[in-house]
Structure 1
């Protein structure tokens, strides 16, 4: 299972979800789907934009939880 830690990174960067959505060019609704872990996948292009906007690595926002 992949856990999405986007809320944690947003909080650390003092950025709102709405602001991130605007910066990366997606709707707040689509960002919410990603944040809650309900997305079936994510494009590398979107992941790249998120990492650039938050100055982070993919591993900062996505975590594998084995089981």
Structure 2
């Protein structure tokens, strides 16, 4: 399983306080669709090279999560 996020290039300025970068989330079809749409909005606002999609392997916890 993987995680996905949008990262902003540090050189890209923030216009009107709009930040399209986000935290890591599960890489599923719905999240990928959502982030691709958000990335397209970022490209319109800041330019094509301002933001990018990143993926990484999902970190597994050794400890069970209490419900």
More relative contact order, 1 or 2 (CA 8 Å, 6+ apart): 1
> Shared fold (TM-score greater than 0.5)?
no
Bigger-Rg structure (1/2): 2
Q: Please give the range of the TM-score, normalised by the shorter of the 2 chains.
A: 0.3 to 0.5
Please identify which structure carries the higher strand content.
2
Q: TM-score, normalised by structure 2?
A: 0.43
Q: TM-score, normalised by structure 1?
A: 0.43
